[in-house]
Structure 1
């Protein structure tokens, strides 16, 4: 007689929801002008109304984060960034666009699936204390050491929450690109010891901090989920800051020696109705 298999009590229940953090989808559409011309005036109006409602981040049942932007250049016309605990709610937006009256005219050209994470290179409180003693020569009895450690301890939960469940800045421009860490015989990131990788990522983070207030960055993880290992989303107060931060950080060893980049998508954030107006839909 076959007995039912029961997993160990310590294992979590099967679920599509993450233990912590959110699922994330970047998806890009191109307007098919020929298909758009085939729509009747009433179908066009109905499709436009449904898309505006669907992409409203404040509507009942909307994903936790939903941002619309128009893409600069020929790679795409419309960009969506969607985040939620439930990946099927995210995919529901994509499916509703496909099924709408405008679905035939909005052709997906690129997508990127990822999840939020707290990087292994973000120091714990204990690791930060070790770094202060090792790199800055501070002692446990030093009041400055205690002050720095306490300040970091107060910031860390907020910083990790922003990494896992991010708020989007109210800035006009965003840029997305996927990336890998290289696995090459002459430069294999995954053959470096953790201490070396951590030091390189600390240098990389120090470069990025200089752009605080001008650029906000979110790294999402995609290893095993998409063709690249990470997705980088940048928001900028101005497009020139996007260019400056990417250029500056390419001189860091973690980037100059070990990084491989995919396509870059620059877009300008607009409410759904303004985005469709801009696309002349």
Structure 2
């Protein structure tokens, strides 16, 4: 009888679910007015009822995170952001939209598939201690060193949990865009040493921290999952903060020299009922 080798015995069971973290889908729909006008009033009412239930983040069996928004501009009308450990549960929402009476009305125009991750540039406690010694000149005997190190050690698990299993802020505006780090002969991110990349990302993070309380940011990884390498989701207390943070962070070296951006989708959060009403469905 064939027995698994010791190395194989330690491997997790095959699964579509992530070992640690969530799958993420951004999907955008456009209202097909001709299809809408071709439906009877009873079909529209039935479709509305089905979608209101399907997109309810509190319903039994809903994905871990489900957010609905109406999109500004011509690229789309309705936006969904869905997260869960099980990608098929996420896809079930899309299939439910398609199979509903309004499935012919809501036509997908763009989607982005990614997963949550803890960035390799997030310092460990040991790396943070090294940074305090090297950049701030603190010694291990300094009370300030120990205070900062202990505070970081307490924050780090919560920060990593938010990256892997994020809560969505109840703020009115959200923005999504994909991005790459470029591979140009004169600016190839992937040819830079880790220490250089880490320093640039530290500068980038420092710029973002200035918007704490005004903008919340989530970076999801899409290498191997979609055409871009990362997805950036922003939530803002006010639309102007979205513009300000994107503009400000573009001056950081990691962005100014090495970043390439895809399409931007700006949208405004609404409940499923309010979103369908706004779309006049």
**TM class by smaller structure:** over 0.9
Aligned to 1:160: 160
SS in 2 for 1:74: coil
Partner of 1:19: 19
Task: Give me the whole-angstrom Cα distance separating, in 2, the residues matched to 1:158 and 1:145.
Answer: 21
Q: Does 1:196 align with 2:196?
A: yes
User: Which residues of structure 1 form unaligned runs of 5+?
Assistant: none
- 1:223 corresponding residue in structure 2: 223
1:5-63 CA distances to partner (integer Å, 9 max, x unpaired)?
Answer: 84611211111111101000000000000000011111000000000000000000000
For residues 100-119 of structure 1, the aligned pairs below 5 Å read 100-119=100-119
- Deviations for 1:119-149, whole angstroms, at most 9, x for unmatched residues? 0000000000000000000000000000000
For residues 230-241 of structure 1, what are the structure 2 equivalents within 5 Å? 230-241=230-241
Q: Alpha carbons of 1:43 and 1:4: their partners in 2 closer, same or farther (altered >3 Å)?
A: farther
**Per-residue CA distance 1:210-231 (angstroms, 9 max, x = gap):** 0000000000000000000000
Q: Distance in 2 between matches of 1:49 and 1:107?
A: 18
SS in 1 for 2:228: coil
Q: Paired residue for 1:140?
A: 140
Q: Distance in 2 between matches of 1:5 and 1:126?
A: 40
Match of 1:247 in 2: 247
TM-superposed deviation, 1:4: 5.6
2:70 is the alignment partner of 1:70: yes
Deviations 1:163-195 (A, max 9, x none): 000000010000000000000111000000000
Matched, 1:271 2:232: no
Using the size of structure 2 for normalisation, the TM-score is 0.98
SS at match of 2:9: coil
Q: Aligned partners of 1:97 and 1:70: how far apart in 2?
A: 16
Structure-to-structure mapping, 1:12-91, within 5 angstroms: 12-91=12-91
3-state secondary structure, aligned to 1:18:
coil
TM-score by length of 1: 0.98
- Once the two structures are superposed, residues 242-271 of structure 1 have per-residue CA deviations (whole angstroms, 9 ceiling, x without a partner) of 000000000000000000000000000000
Give the number of aligned pairs.
279
Q: Aligned pair in 2 of structure 1 residues 44, 121: CA closer, same or farther (>3 Å)?
A: same
SS of the aligned residue for 1:151 comes to helix
Q: Which residue of 2 aligns with 1:207?
A: 207
Assess, with a 3 A threshold, how the Cα gap between structure 1 residues 223 and 37 changes in structure 2: closer, same or farther.
Answer: same
Q: Is there any run of 5+ residues in structure 2 with no aligned partner, and where?
A: none
DSSP-derived class of the 1:220 partner: strand
Aligned residue for 1:200, secondary structure, equals: helix
**Structure-2 residue corresponding to 1:256:** 256
